[in-house]
Amino acid sequence: MTQTGERTGDASEMARPNMPPPNLPPLSLHVPEPRFRPGDEADFSDFDIPAPGATPRPDESAAPADMRDLAYGLVRVLGDDGQAAGPWNPRLPAETLLKMLRAMALTRAFDERMFRAQRQGKTSFYMKSTGEEAVSVGAAHALQRDDMCFPSYRQQGILIARDWPIIDMMNQIYSNKGDRLKGRQLPIMYSAREAGFFSISGNLTTQYPQAVGWAMASAARGDTRIAAAWCGEGSTAEGDFHSACTFASVYRVPVILNVVNNQWAISSFSGFAGAEATTFAARAVGYGIAGLRVDGNDILAVHAATRWAADRARANAGPTLIEHFTYRAEGHSTSDDPGAYRSANEGSHWPLGDPIARLKRHCIAIGIWDEDRQAAMDRDLAEMVRDTARQAEKNGILGHGLHHPMESMFEDVFEEMPWHLKEQQQQMLDEQKAAGL
C-alpha cells in the first residue's frame, strides 16, 4: 500500500507480507483412519485392559481434580473367571443379578424379532443394541425408577429394564392404531413419560441439554430426582454436548452424562470424534466434571459407576460424565451394511466379550444359575416376544392401513384447534374423498 492508498504488488504478496523462511515444511492435516477395514484380521492384543478390581474407587464427593486418572483408566469388576472383584463390586443381591440377566436377554430377543420384522417388510426401520445391553440395563437398575432418562435410540434396554410393556414398543415400531405416538415418530423413537423415558429425537445429542435443563429444574424446585442422558461417542462432536457440559459444570447440575463409546458412528470410526487423541471420559477433565471410564460390557461396572454418579448427584456434589467402552456388534441400523466399511471379525475379536455371556458366567460361578436355566429362559423369552409381536401385528403393520386416522395429524398441538388448521384438515379430507381414499 502506498501513502495515497494505492495497492502495489500481487494479491499473494498482499496476503502474506512477511514470508516465512523457505525451509519450513508445507502444512498438512491428519485424517484418522480406522485400524481395520474389510478383509483385515482384527487384532486388539495391544489393548491396555486393566485387571478387574484394579481401579480405585474414590468417595462420591471427591473433587474432579483428585480423580483424573479414572477418566483415562477402565473400571472393571467381572473377571474372565466369572468372579467379581475390587472396590467397585456393587455386591448386588442374587435377585438383582438375575433380573438384569433377564432384562438383557429380553432386550436381545426383542431386537432379534424386530430386526426380522423390518426384513419382512412389517416396519420401515429398526436399530439393535446388540453387545451394548449392559449399558442401559445396568444403569436402569442403578437409578431410581422415577429418575428421568434422556436416551439416544440405542437404550431400549432402559424401557425393558423398567418393565415397560413390549407390546407398546412394538405398536410404536409398527406405527399402528395401538401406537401411543400416533405414527408421528420414526419407528424406535419411543416416548414413555410414565417410565421416565424422554422422547427420543433423531437429531443427535439434543437430549443432552434437555437432560441438564430437566435436572436444573428438578434442583430449582427442591426435588430429589436426578436426570441421566446417553449419547454415542460420535455424538460428542455435536455442539449440544459441549453446551450441556458447560451448564452441568457451572451449576453443579444433578445429572449423569453417559457417552456410549461403541467404536462406530454409522461408518465413521471413533477417531473422527477424537478417540485417537484422548478418551471420551477425558472430556470431563476440561469441564471440571467427575469423569469415569467404564468397561461397558461389564454390567457390574456399569451399575457401580451409575450408582456412584447418582449418589454424587443426589448429594449435590455435582455431575458425572461416564464413558462406557463397548462395541456395536451389529450394523448401525437396518439401513446399514457394516461389511462395507469394517473388518468382519472385529466383533468376535472384541477383547471385552459379550455382556450377557459375562453376567451369565458370573451367576453360574457364584452358584445361582446354570446353563440349562439360561437355555430355558432364552427359549421362553423368544416365545414371549414372538407371541407379543403377533398381538401387536393385529393392531396393524406397515402398509396395511391400520394406523391412526390421517386427520389426527392435525391434533394435539393446540388445546383448541385454530381455524386455519381446521381448514387444512378439512381440505385434506376433501382431497382424500375426491381421490377415493
User: Which residues in this chain contact Mg ion in the complex, by CB under 5 A?
Assistant: 232-234, 262, 265
Cα 265 to Cα 46: distance, rounded to the nearest angstrom: 23
User: Interface residues with ligand TPP (CB under 6 A)?
Assistant: 152, 154, 202-204, 231-235, 260, 262, 264-266, 328, 332
Position of minimal CB gap to Mg ion: 232
Q: Which residue has the cell 432402559?
A: 158
Q: Which is nearer to ligand TPP, 155 or 249 (CB)?
A: 155
Tell me how many degrees the CA angle 395-399-401 measures, rounded to the nearest 5.
Answer: 55
Q: Is 402 helix (H, G, I), strand (E, B) or coil?
A: coil
**Binding partner of 202, given Mg ion, ligand TPP, none, CB within 5-8 angstroms per partner class:** ligand TPP
Cα 222 to Cα 276: distance, rounded to the nearest angstrom: 41
β-pairing, 268-269 with 264-265?
Answer: antiparallel
**Binding partner of 215, given ligand TPP, Mg ion, none, CB within 5-8 angstroms per partner class:** none
Shortest spacing between CB 339 and ligand TPP, in angstroms = 17
Give backbone dihedrals phi and psi of 268, rounded to 5 degrees, phi first: -95, 130
Shortest spacing between CB 260 and Mg ion, in angstroms = 7
Q: Which is nearer to ligand TPP, 187 or 318 (CB)?
A: 187
C-alpha cell at 262: 461403541
C-alpha cell at 283: 472430556
Contact in structure between 245 and 287 (CB atoms under 8 Å): yes
Q: Which helix (H) or strand (E) holds 110?
A: helix 94-119
Q: Which is nearer to Mg ion, 247 or 269 (CB)?
A: 269
Q: Which is nearer to ligand TPP, 190 or 369 (CB)?
A: 190
Shortest spacing between CB 331 and ligand TPP, in angstroms = 10
Contact in structure between 281 and 71 (CB atoms under 8 Å): yes
**Binding partner of 204, given ligand TPP, Mg ion, none, CB within 5-8 angstroms per partner class:** ligand TPP
C-alpha cell at 426: 378439512
Q: Which is nearer to ligand TPP, 318 or 338 (CB)?
A: 338
**Binding partner of 165, given ligand TPP, Mg ion, none, CB within 5-8 angstroms per partner class:** none
Shortest spacing between CB 127 and ligand TPP, in angstroms = 8
Q: Left (φ > 0), alpha (ψ -120 to 50) or beta: where does 20 sit?
A: beta
**Binding partner of 76, given Mg ion, ligand TPP, none, CB within 5-8 angstroms per partner class:** none
Q: Which is nearer to ligand TPP, 124 or 424 (CB)?
A: 124
Shortest spacing between CB 128 and Mg ion, in angstroms = 13
Q: Which is nearer to ligand TPP, 207 or 388 (CB)?
A: 207
Q: Is 323 helix (H, G, I), strand (E, B) or coil?
A: strand
**Binding partner of 203, given Mg ion, ligand TPP, none, CB within 5-8 angstroms per partner class:** ligand TPP
C-alpha cell at 309: 454418579
